[in-house]
């Protein structure tokens, strides 16, 4: 075809866009052809990452919103649930992530001044902190799952009952100062009839209040096997206790996925930094990857007090 | 296909320049498209996919209308089948067609060229967002293969959490499409901020870029919320987490709030880019500078801002408190201010202009007419006292079809005709274009204006069966939908025909002056050899009409063409 005169020199691949067309010879090897300067490219990348971080905040925002709505409508769920979480493990995770943010920030600095060796050490440290975080998360999750504290219809009321009885007995024996796991006895007696599991929404003009009354224990078909979201006021456990763990697992789970993605980014930076490519003229990937890692850290800084402490 | 051959044949035709090199013949082969990073090719791939999905959604619309031809069973005796048809129609049209329609297809193609840039800021992300769209489309097809979904396109809980139909694949598809939309928006924001060549100041940008920018802001800031909402819905279905379903302790109204926090701004994702197109169409085809450029530009931003604050008007009858209802109602009314600014500015642009009723202009004028009806009937629904009556009736159906189809899609088809010569390098047939437009415009009004009457008389939406007294209106509406379908078939015919047998398009067939018309048709691979000189894109003084060829040429391009 007629394309012969211009088809041969360039393979029909996306790389036609890449380092090609730097005839003037002064282009940086990592400068894409549609940018005039490296600085312009860097600033665009950074703006893009900030926008992406905004979308991440909004993605988590949905869950935070669910948290606040359920917390304000059913505070007893959170009063009960947060006592079942191990705040020392949570605090350990917070420290690990804060340290990793420090090493990441120092790593960005190392990339900017071109100290590749230091950069690689700091990236490795950040990665190790990520592993530490996920390990602690693994221990925490295993403990919760082992005791039946699971999300939604997987919440195992029999196991939880068993665990709470043991915890109460242990408390009676030891005087109770070690058993952070279960301190629900402090909760004032919960009377389910006073407050529906449903939120207070039916106060609205059209008045469909009776819906709330229809929520019966084990109403969901799949819940029948283990009693469903039962009401056990005598043991100090509020109705629909599973909702706290739904929110807990979804928030920390989504955050955990983000930690894993961040670790993958750091691993990729570690591998690509082998060839000394990062230096004063080109450090955008490290800085932008660092921004993402800081966001992961920041979200945890909110998750920790909201779920474990208050 | 034709362009290279005319080149090899010793160039006997005088007006065809020898082997014009453009983005379509830049490289060949499947991979040169599948892995392309060229925003123009990505735009074309989006366009093909979106128009295909438009056909699919259209078929389901016709099934719905045909079923409603008479009361009781007409073409199916299974009401659930009918539920699936309108759900698939709505979901396909909203998520696969209208939301990506203008930004991802036409926007991808023209935005960088209009701006004077070589590409979007992140070409790889752009390709990635196209494949996310493809992934979303595959999940929709999977949904169909698994027997469809019957929850309505809004996926309201608790029904969507318990229905046995394929909710999860459909919701996963929407999730992927959401991220496709986010990445497109992100790309456009960064492109407009960072890739404007020197001289292209904010207030020299064509109005389409302003509306694309406002759209992109909504895409980035609203779409993540639907993402998490749909993830929660999947969790609710699989693990019964108890967020949205009363049976598990959840709150279905919370789903509505989450859903509409995205989906109302999404209405502006759909309409704003179409408004941007119309701003271009009206100005170019009236050969007159837009009246009140800054007002049109800022009204786009204002609509984007207001768009975030009105979602509660979808819950007037869903146990929302009267105080909240009043607040949302008031903010909803205030959206009509920037909308009206646009409409009056367009009319003032046309006034005293030298209007040519080209096919794109016909769509542009139709937009103003249909959007006015769609917008004004929105006030009936934003008013609390009348909404109680109109809620969940065909009045709502008619209202949002006037906005979604009569405005967003009509604007998109206007843009498609406007930029078709630029996209393909071919002219479509004017007469056939007018015939198709007439069928669509008349058919649309017959279909949906009837539904305003139907709704005001109490016909509820989404019903499979109805009382005999509604039959005449349903029959008229169905006939209208067939007229529209005929119009779209004619359009498909002449557009496809033009690709293979259309006249070569000149670089500036409409006498416009924004940067894309200074490129050849189709544009070259790199858009611009060197940064283009930025002048006033709405100054038509330098564009000359040549009555012999019936074409326009820009005086600024003359020296460039001769060199």
* pLDDT at position B142 over 70: yes
How close A201 comes to chain B (CA, Å)? 6
- B221 and A54 within 8 Å at the Cβ level: the answer is yes
Cα B320 to Cα B28: distance, rounded to the nearest angstrom: 58
- In this complex, which of B124, B182, B245 lies closest to A55 when CB atoms are compared? B182
pLDDT category at B558 given cuts 50, 70, 90 is low
For B516, the 3-state DSSP assignment is helix
Q: Percentage of chain A with pLDDT > 70?
A: 71
Average pLDDT over chain B, rounded to an integer: 91
Work out the average pLDDT over B316-325. 90
User: Which DSSP symbol is given to B555?
Assistant: G
Encoded tokens for A42: 């860097």
Looking at residue B94, its pLDDT comes to 95
Q: Determine contact: A210 vs chain B, CB below 8 A.
A: no
Q: For A80-132, what is each residue's pLDDT tens digit?
A: 888 888 889 999 999 999 999 999 999 999 999 989 999 999 999 999 999 99
The distance of A189 to chain B (nearest Cα, Å) reads 20
Residue A26 has what pLDDT?
61
Q: Give B516's contacts (C-beta < 8 A, 6+ positions apart).
A: B110, B113, B114, B419, B422, B523
Q: What is each CA distance from B138 to B53, B132, B134, B141, B286, in whole angstroms?
A: 11, 10, 6, 5, 42
The average pLDDT across B297-303 equals: 95
Q: Does A188 touch chain B (CB under 8 A)?
A: no
Residue A151: which of B36, B182, B241 has the nearest Cβ? Answer: B241
Indicate whether B122 pLDDT > 90: yes
Nearest CA in chain B to A154: B239
Q: Using 50, 70 and 90 to split pLDDT, how confident is the model at B555? A: low
Chain A residues 79-138 within an 8 A CB cutoff of chain B: none
| Beta bridge partner(s), residue B546 | B551
pLDDT at A232 over 50: no
Q: What is the mean pLDDT of residues A41-68?
A: 94
What local confidence, expressed as pLDDT, does residue A228 receive? 41
Q: Which of A41, A55, A69, A70 to mutate to test the interface with B (most CBs of B within 10 A)?
A: A55
Least confident window among B2-6, B63-67, B244-248, B291-295: B2-6
Q: Which residue of A has its CA nearest to B118?
A: A34
Nearest CB partner across the interface for B8, out of A2, A222, A254 = A2
Tell me the shortest Cα–Cα distance from B175 to chain A, in angstroms: 12
Distance in angstroms (rounded) separating the CA atoms of residues B538 and B210: 14
Cβ contact A175:A218 at 8 Å: no
Pair B223, A57: CB distance under 8 Å: no
The shortest C-alpha distance from B299 to chain A (Å) reads 23
Name the phi and psi angles at B559, rounded to 5.
-65, -35
The minimum CA-CA distance between A281 and chain B, rounded to whole Å, is 19
Give the CA angle between residues B311, B211, B383 to the nearest 5°.
30
Interface membership of A174 toward B (CB under 8 Å)? no
Nearest neighbour of A208 by CB, restricted to B5, B227, B319: B319
Three-state DSSP class for B2? helix
User: Minimum mean pLDDT among A39-53, A278-292, B431-445, B534-548: which range?
Assistant: B534-548
Maximum mean pLDDT: which of A221-225, B132-136, B522-526: B132-136
Name every chain A residue with its beta carbon within 8 A of the beta carbon of B245: 220
Size of interface A-B (CB pairs under 8 A): 187
pLDDT at B7 over 90: no
Residue A194 has a CB neighbour count (10 Å cut-off) of 6
Chain B touched by A250 (CB under 8 Å): yes
For residue B435, pLDDT over 60 is answered with: yes
Chain B residues with CB under 8 Å of A51 CB are: 186, 189-190, 220
What is the rounded CA–CA span in Å between residue A272 and residue B476?
65
Q: Is the pLDDT reported for residue A184 higher than 60?
A: no
Number of other residues whose CB lies within 10 A of the CB of residue A113: 12
HSE at residue B185, side-chain half, CA atoms within 13 A, is 29
A243 in reach of chain B (CB within 8 A):
yes
pLDDT higher than threshold 50 for residue B471: yes
Rounded to two decimals, what is the model's pTM?
0.86
Residue range A238-243: average pLDDT?
84
ipTM: 0.89
> Which of B136, B216, B217 minimizes the C-alpha distance to B180?
B136
With 60 as the cut, is the pLDDT of residue A187 above it?
Answer: no
β-strand partners of A232: A237
* Residue B548 scores a pLDDT above 80: no
- Tell me whether residues A219 and B121 touch, CB distance under 8 A: no
B246:A214 CB<8 A: yes
Of A256-270, B78-92, B529-543, least confident by mean pLDDT is B529-543
Contact state of A66 with B254 under an 8 Å Cβ cutoff? yes
More confident of the two residues B374 and B24: B374
Summary mean pLDDT of chain A: 76
For CA atoms B221, B222, B225, B231, the dihedral sign is negative
Contact at CB, B220 and A55, closer than 8 angstroms: yes
Q: What is the largest CA-CA distance in chain B?
A: 77
Nearest chain B residue to A202, by CA = B319
pLDDT per position as a tens digit, B479-506: 999 999 999 999 999 999 999 999 988 8
CB pair distance less than 8 Å for B235 and A246? yes
- B32 to chain A, closest Cα gap in Å: 5
Cα nearest neighbour of A38 on chain B: B194
In this prediction, residues B107-118 reach a mean pLDDT of: 93
Nearest alpha-carbon partner for B441 in B409, B478, B494, B487: B487
Rounded to a whole number of angstroms, the distance from the CA of A128 to the nearest CA of chain B is: 29
Contact across the interface for B27 and A1, Cβ inside 8 Å: no
Find residue B277's DSSP bridge partners.
Answer: none
pLDDT band at residue A39 using 50, 70 and 90 as cut-offs: confident
Residues B343-356 pLDDT 10s: 999 999 999 999 99
Phi and psi torsions of A280, nearest 5° = -55, -30
Do B269 and B222 contact (CB within 8 A), yes or no? yes
Q: In chain A, positions 20-39, which contact chain B (CB-CB < 8 Å)? A: 32-35
Tokens at A264, concatenated: 């993958």
Segments of B70-138 assigned E as strands: none
- Give me the helices (H) in chain A, please: 4-7, 38-73, 75-84, 87-112, 116-146, 157-174, 210-213, 242-272, 284-304
Say how far apart CA B263 and CA B269 lie, in whole Å.
Answer: 9
* A200 close contact with B: CB closer than 8 A: no
Residues of B in contact with A251 (CB under 8 A): none
Angle at Cα A218 formed by Cα A212 and Cα A223, nearest 5°? Answer: 130
- Closest CB to A246: pick one of B28, B121, B241: B241
Question: Residue A230 is encoded by which pair of tokens?
Answer: 């039962």
Residue of chain A with shortest Cα separation from B191? A44
Which tokens belong to B476? 């008229």
Considering only CA atoms, which of B283, B277, B290, B331 is closest in space to residue B307?
A: B331
Residue-wise pLDDT for B173-215, tens only, equals 999 999 999 999 999 999 999 999 888 999 999 999 999 999 9
What is the distance between the terminal CA atoms of chain B, rounded to a whole angstrom? Answer: 27
Q: Has residue A171 got a pLDDT over 80?
A: no
* Omega cis (within 30) before B158: yes
- Distance between CA atoms of residues B398 and B374, nearest Å: 8
Nearest to B279 by CA among B359, B210, B203: B210
Write out pLDDT tens, residues A11-31: 333 333 333 344 444 677 888
- Give the nearest partner residue to B235 out of A204, A240, A250, using CB atoms: A250
Q: Which residues of B207-240 are buried (b: 16+ CB within 10 A; e: fewer)?
A: bbbbbbbbbbbbbbbbbbbbbbbbbbbbbbbebb
**Contact (CB<8Å) B240/A222:** yes
The mean per-residue pLDDT over the stretch B114-129 comes to: 94
Separation of alpha carbons B470 and B70, rounded Å: 9
- Closest partner residue to B186 (CB to CB) among A12, A52, A63 is A52
Inter-residue contact B307 to B267 (CB < 8 Å): yes
Tally of CA atoms within 13 A in the half-sphere of B469 that contains its CB: 6
Residues in contact with B35: Cβ distance below 8 Å, sequence separation at least 6, in sequence order: A13, A14, B127
> How many percent of chain B have pLDDT more than 90?
79
CA dihedral A150, A152, A154, A156 (to 10 degrees): 70
The larger pLDDT score, comparing residue B282 to residue B21, is at B282
pLDDT of residue B210: 95
Burial of B21 (0-12, 13-18, 19+ CB in 10 A): buried
CA distance B496 to B502: 9
How far is Cα A145 from Cα A118, in angstroms, rounded to an integer?
40
Q: Which residue has the higher pLDDT, A122 or A210?
A: A122
């Amino acid at each position: 075809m007629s394309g012969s005169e211009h088809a041969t020199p360039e393979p029909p691949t996306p790389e036609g866009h890449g380092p090609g067309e730097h005839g003037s010879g002064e282009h940086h090897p990592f400068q894409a052809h549609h940018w005039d300067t490296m600085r312009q490219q860097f600033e665009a990348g950074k703006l893009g990452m900030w926008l992406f971080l905004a979308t991440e905040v909004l993605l988590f925002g949905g869950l935070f919103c669910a948290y606040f709505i359920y917390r304000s409508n059913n505070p007893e769920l959170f009063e009960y649930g947060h006592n079942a979480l191990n705040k020392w493990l949570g605090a350990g995770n917070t420290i690990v992530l804060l340290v990793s943010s420090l090493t990441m920030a120092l790593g960005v600095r190392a990339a900017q001044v071109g100290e590749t060796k230091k950069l690689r050490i700091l990236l490795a440290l950040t990665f190790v902190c990520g592993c530490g975080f996920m390990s602690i998360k693994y221990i925490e999750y295993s403990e919760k799952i082992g005791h039946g504290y699971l999300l939604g219809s997987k919440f195992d009321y029999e196991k939880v009952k068993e665990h709470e009885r043991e915890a109460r007995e242990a408390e009676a024996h030891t005087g109770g100062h070690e058993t952070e796991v279960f301190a629900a006895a402090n909760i004032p007696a919960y009377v389910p009839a006073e407050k529906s599991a449903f939120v207070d929404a039916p106060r609205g003009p059209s008045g469909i209040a009776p819906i709330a009354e229809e929520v019966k224990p084990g109403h969901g078909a799949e819940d029948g096997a283990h009693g469903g979201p039962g009401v056990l006021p005598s043991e100090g456990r509020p109705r629909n206790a599973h909702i706290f763990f739904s929110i807990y697992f979804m928030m920390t789970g989504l955050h955990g996925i983000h930690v894993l993605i961040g670790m993958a980014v750091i691993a990729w930076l570690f591998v690509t930094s082998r060839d000394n490519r990062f230096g004063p003229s080109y450090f955008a990937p490290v800085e932008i990857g660092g921004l993402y890692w800081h966001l992961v850290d920041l979200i945890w800084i909110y998750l920790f007090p909201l779920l474990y402490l208050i | 296909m034709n362009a290279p051959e005319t080149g090899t044949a010793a160039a006997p035709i005088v007006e065809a320049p020898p082997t014009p090199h453009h983005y379509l013949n830049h490289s060949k082969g499947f991979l040169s498209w599948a892995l392309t990073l060229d925003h123009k090719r990505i735009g074309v791939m989006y366009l093909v996919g979106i128009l295909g999905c438009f056909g699919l959604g259209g078929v389901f619309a016709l099934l719905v209308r045909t079923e409603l031809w008479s009361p009781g069973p007409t073409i199916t005796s299974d009401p659930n089948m009918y539920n699936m048809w309108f759900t698939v129609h709505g979901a396909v049209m909203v998520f696969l067609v209208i939301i990506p329609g203008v930004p991802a297809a036409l926007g991808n193609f023209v935005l960088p060229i209009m701006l004077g840039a070589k590409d979007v800021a992140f070409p790889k992300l752009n390709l990635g967002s196209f494949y996310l769209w493809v992934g979303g489309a595959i999940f929709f097809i999977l949904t169909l293969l698994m027997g469809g979904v019957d929850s309505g396109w809004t996926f309201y809980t608790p029904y969507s959490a318990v229905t046995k139909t394929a909710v999860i694949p459909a919701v996963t598809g929407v999730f992927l499409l959401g991220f496709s939309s986010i990445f497109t928006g992100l790309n456009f924001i960064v492109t407009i901020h960072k890739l404007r060549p020197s001289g292209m100041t904010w207030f020299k940008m064509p109005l389409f870029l302003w509306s694309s920018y406002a759209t992109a802001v909504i895409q980035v800031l609203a779409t993540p919320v639907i993402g998490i909402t749909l993830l929660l819905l999947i969790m609710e279905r699989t693990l019964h987490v108890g967020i949205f379903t009363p049976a598990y302790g959840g709150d279905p109204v919370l789903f509505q709030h989450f859903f509409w926090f995205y989906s109302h701004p999404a209405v502006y994702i759909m309409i704003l880019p179409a408004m941007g197109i119309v701003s271009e169409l009206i100005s170019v085809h009236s050969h007159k500078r837009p009246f009140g450029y800054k007002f049109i530009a800022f009204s786009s931003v204002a609509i984007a801002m207001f768009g975030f604050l009105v979602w509660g008007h979808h819950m007037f009858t869903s146990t929302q408190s009267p105080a909240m209802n009043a607040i949302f109602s008031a903010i909803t009314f205030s959206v009509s201010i920037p909308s009206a600014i646009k409409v009056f500015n367009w009319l003032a642009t046309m006034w005293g202009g030298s209007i040519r009723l080209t096919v794109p202009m016909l769509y542009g004028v139709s937009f103003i007419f249909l959007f006015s009806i769609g917008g004004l009937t929105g006030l009936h629904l934003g008013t609390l006292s009348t909404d109680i009556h109109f809620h969940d009736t065909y009045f709502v159906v008619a209202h949002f079809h006037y906005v979604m189809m009569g405005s967003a899609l009509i604007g998109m088809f206007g843009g498609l005709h406007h930029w078709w010569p630029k996209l393909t390098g071919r002219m479509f047939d004017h007469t056939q274009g007018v015939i198709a437009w007439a069928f669509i415009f008349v058919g649309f009004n017959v279909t949906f204006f009837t539904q305003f009457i139907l709704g005001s008389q109490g016909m509820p939406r989404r019903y499979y069966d109805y009382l005999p007294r509604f039959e005449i209106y349903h029959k008229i509406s169905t006939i209208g939908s067939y007229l529209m379908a005929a119009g779209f078939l004619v359009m498909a015919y002449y557009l496809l025909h033009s690709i293979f047998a259309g006249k070569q398009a000149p670089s500036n067939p409409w006498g416009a002056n924004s940067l894309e018309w200074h490129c050849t048709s189709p544009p070259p691979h790199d858009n611009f050899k060197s940064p283009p000189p930025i002048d006033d894109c709405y100054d038509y003084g330098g564009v000359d009409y040549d009555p012999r060829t019936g074409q326009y040429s820009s005086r600024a391009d003359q020296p460039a063409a001769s060199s």
